Structure 1
């Protein structure tokens, strides 16, 4: 990575953080209000809650990836940078696991499963293009940095084979990890676009639902 590329990436990540952080606080506040409404069997409410949970998680992942990348780019020593890159790879691994999962048998534990499974057939048809795109991304996304099980173990544990752990940290390739991060960011941006449009739609439905509740109370 050239100096100009690094500088451009550092500044762009900083702008993304400035834009995302206030939205994260608003999403958390809205989700908190939704969870306090005692109508959890309501379709509109359930989908809205799942969509907000999804969007909040995606936004936090985005923030973490940006912050870890900036820590690497601003590292003052070689070990500062290696430590930041190790953290970036750890975030990538956990983020992918949370959003899509590494195993089809644990699909119900992923972020997107509750949202998609809570949609009615009519709404699934309405958002079919987005759902098909997400399925295609899941099938075709194969970043070795994220899927390498051995490297995941080396990141999270102080291995009994300390020489192997030292070699892993010494050999970690920042450009490869940052490339994987950028690829995954493009994925969650597309997922965020789908959830954003879904929330715009369901926000209108929520307004109608709340208005109906008020009318019921007044009657």
Structure 2
């Protein structure tokens, strides 16, 4: 398998917002606001780097365990981000999709998500996917339920199910699998993010906290990716 110069699809676990704020003696929500601003810079850098798809982990199914103050603040931040960035995303040719279980999100936020997806549906310059109330195990469980219903309804032959079947039921069914997953803040775990899709992704764990993750950091990682030999279970390239 020949090397790819650039990853087509990059997924990012944007970790370290709260710690960034606490290190400055400020409320954790200030760090989340700083992190939201950083997203714009990374999205803008994608076309020049050959990245067609960017998926960011904004809020996990486990994040509901945080304090009510922080969760409520994050939900306000998501609503504000959509309202503030919608027209700019449209002008810059960014198509936005959301993945995750929307049922637990408030009705106003769900409406804004639907509107942003519809507004940017014809954009093609960058595909930005935002994982909101997302968990890899939860996604697979929801996909399995849909698959099971199709079997029960006679729409799917169980004998014909293969490892190519389940992806059609995942939230990411219209996306290519990620080539590269980046996690910031020095933590070296995948935190229930894109479990099925990342089976053959390359990983980068960096110490930088997300609000400090600049375009220069992104470019440096892209350069390292180009030197990797992606074999997908095969032998080393000549």
How high is the TM-score relative to the length of structure 2?
0.27
Q: Which is richer in helix? A: 1
How high is the TM-score relative to the length of structure 1?
0.29
Largest Rg, 1 or 2: 1
Q: Which is richer in strand? A: 2
Greater relative CO, 1 or 2 (CA 8 Å, sep 6+): 2
